[in-house]
Amino acid sequence: MSGRSVFVYSDELLKYKFSSHHPFNQVRLKLTLDLLKKTNAITDADIIPPRPATEEELFLIHDPNYVNAVRLAGLGKLSEETAEGYGLGTEDTPIFPNMHEASSLLVGGTLTAVDQVMTGKADHALHLGGGLHHGFRGKASGFCIYNDSSVAIKYLIEKYNVRVLYVDTDAHHGDGVQWSFYDDPNVCTLSIHETGRYLFPGTGNVNERGQGKGYGYSFNIPVDAFTEDESWLYAYQNALKEVADFFKPDVIFTQNGADSHYYDPLTHLSATMRIYREIPRLAHEIAHQYCNGKWIAVGGGGYDIWRVVPRAWSLIWMEMTENSNCYGSLPDDWVSYWQEKSSVALPIEWDDPATLYPAIPRKDEITEKNRLTLEKALYPILQKKSNERIDT
């Protein structure tokens, strides 16, 4: 399955920074890249810099008035009342200097990844600075100013005329991307997330299936709070295989939020590094099975930037490059360098110990509930398959 992979990065991506105490902290990009370098898993030749998205590219999804408001906000020229109407200056999405330029670079990084794959320069491309899936056409939301994934998918459709399978494994529902393409049969969205009963943004129910020509191309699997590895992976593996076989995409686009982990401070799931091995492995397999290897991956959530995100995101690159050097101990020089800066004890192994957390008392109940949710989510596909077997 091997083919060239590229890693989109520059230190300029760190300028997307709300404040020193905001949970969205792009220092996790440096932590991840440094882990890959100290594992000898990446070279400078693998890394390409992002470019800023143009206004015209942003307008593929975002309202021009909103883009102008973001620019003015970053210059300190937007009134508080106007900013509030655009979701700017809130606790989640504070205003910071030059936020338009910083946000445009995140979008452009994802477009850089798209062009690398779609022009045949690479089979796979990873842009961990992207994955801001909550941004709307005219409003910021959930730490996301511009929605790079939505812009990139629209760009894929208009420039390359392809059918896109968008797979979102962030603990938060991929609402911005889903609504962007809710009526578009050229985009199939699959989001596996913690149920919105307990978590922002409160959407992503199984009955959100699309509308108009896009009906039947939106899939949501809201898993219960405290879901563990086995149940989460059962949902992911079955859903992705069934949806990919149903949709038969030209390209797979994955959003890789790393916030379903037990340690994440903003969510309530109980996953470990086991799922972060399987997420890219199966995505890689699907890319080669249906898309001639075309796989674009972005980052997303992930708020334990020390213990979780660097390992989880490194495993995406390891899978893309078919590098098996991701078991056992983490590099000593990585652990010692970053431990001085970390507020928590860093892990010393790639995988989590079996004793990471005490037994969840409702495990069987949660597992069965998730199984039934999966069945409901996939019912249209499974029903169609059943009818086809009867007809033959």
Give this prediction's pTM.
Answer: 0.97
Active site (annotated) includes residue 268: no
- Mean pLDDT over all residues of the chain? 97
Phi-psi region of 289 (alpha: psi -120 to 50; beta: other; left: phi over 0): alpha
Q: For the segment 123-174, what is each residue's pLDDT rounded down to a tens digit? A: 999 999 999 999 999 999 999 999 999 999 999 999 999 999 999 999 999 9
Catalytic one of 100, 124, 127, 134: 134
Other C-beta atoms closer than 10 Å to the C-beta of 326 total: 20
The residue type found at 99 is M
Q: Tell me the fold of 5-51+108-391.
A: Arginase; Chain A (3.40.800)
Q: What is the pLDDT of residues 315-363, one digit of tens each?
A: 999 999 999 999 999 999 999 999 999 999 999 999 999 999 999 999 9
Rounded to an integer, what distance in angstroms lies between the CA atom of residue 155 and that of residue 126? 17
pLDDT of residue 392: 64
Give the sheet arrangement for strand 187-194, strand by strand: 47-48, 5-8, 124-127, 295-298, 251-255, 164-168, 187-194, 218-223
Residue 65 contacts by C-beta under 8 Å, 6 or more apart in sequence?
138
Tell me which DSSP letter residue 348 carries. S
Tens of pLDDT, residue by residue over 224-279, are: 999 999 999 999 999 999 999 999 999 999 999 999 999 999 999 999 999 999 99
- CB-CB contact of 295 with 283 (8 Å): yes
Percent of the chain with pLDDT over 70: 99
pLDDT digits (tens, 9 = 90+) for 269-314: 999 999 999 999 999 999 999 999 999 999 999 999 999 999 999 9
Q: Please enumerate in sequence order all residues whose Cβ is within 8 A of that of 38, keeping only pairs 6 or more positions apart, or say none.
A: 331, 333, 334
**pLDDT tens across 193-213, in order?**
999 998 999 999 999 999 999
- Give the pLDDT of residue 382: 85
Q: Each residue of 31-56: pLDDT tens digit?
A: 999 999 999 999 999 999 999 999 99
pLDDT value at residue 105:
98
The pLDDT of residue 179:
98
Tokens read off for 199: 């978590």
pLDDT for 214 beyond 90: yes
The ranges assigned to domains in the chain are 5-51+108-391
* CA count, 13 A, side-chain hemisphere, 128: 29
Q: Is the pLDDT of residue 386 over 90?
A: no
- Average of per-residue pLDDT across 210-222: 98
Half-sphere exposure of 260 (CA within 13 A, CB side): 34
